[in-house]
Structure 1
Amino acid sequence: MPPLIVVAAVAAGALFGVKALKREWARVNSRLDEAERADAARDRVARPTLRKDPASGEWRPE
């Protein structure tokens, strides 16, 4: 019976480890997503909108 207890304890520990890893993974991904959204918003503000000049055919900022 003792080996069964050891196996059960190892399985419980592995389950706890997997759940903790999953939580950490989700936390890191959410922080990365926030950073990407902020970076994209900053890029949109920094980059001008371009319009094509019908006379010359060149793209120019507004």
Structure 2
Amino acid sequence: MPHILLSPLVKWSFAALGGAMVVQWVVTEVKRVNEELDARRARVRIRDQERRPTLRRDPVSGEFRL
């Protein structure tokens, strides 16, 4: 039974192709997760701004107070 030997160039090409596919998948997943997080942050930001107290400057002391 003959052994099928692949040249090192073919082996490195398969490794590079597999690595590129993994990198592309990771980049796609990172973008998808970041879009979901940005959408959730935008919703939370809007709700928080309505309930958050604002600081006002005290004219006598010049300090900011609630």
| TM-score, length-scaled by structure 1 | 0.71
Q: Give unpaired runs (5+ residues) of structure 2.
A: 1-5, 60-64
- Larger RCO, structure (CA 8 Å, separation 6 or more): 1
Structure with max Cα Rg: 2
Q: Give unpaired runs (5+ residues) of structure 1.
A: none
Q: Among the aligned pairs, what percent are the same residue?
A: 35
Partner Cα separation in structure 2 for residue 18 and residue 27 of structure 1 = 14
Aligned pair 1:40/2:34, yes or no? Answer: no
| TM-score, length-scaled by structure 2 | 0.67
Equivalent of residue 2 in structure 1, options 3, 7, 13: 7
What secondary structure is seen at the aligned counterpart in 2 of 1:12? Answer: helix
Aligned CA-pair RMSD: 2.4
> How many residues align structurally?
58
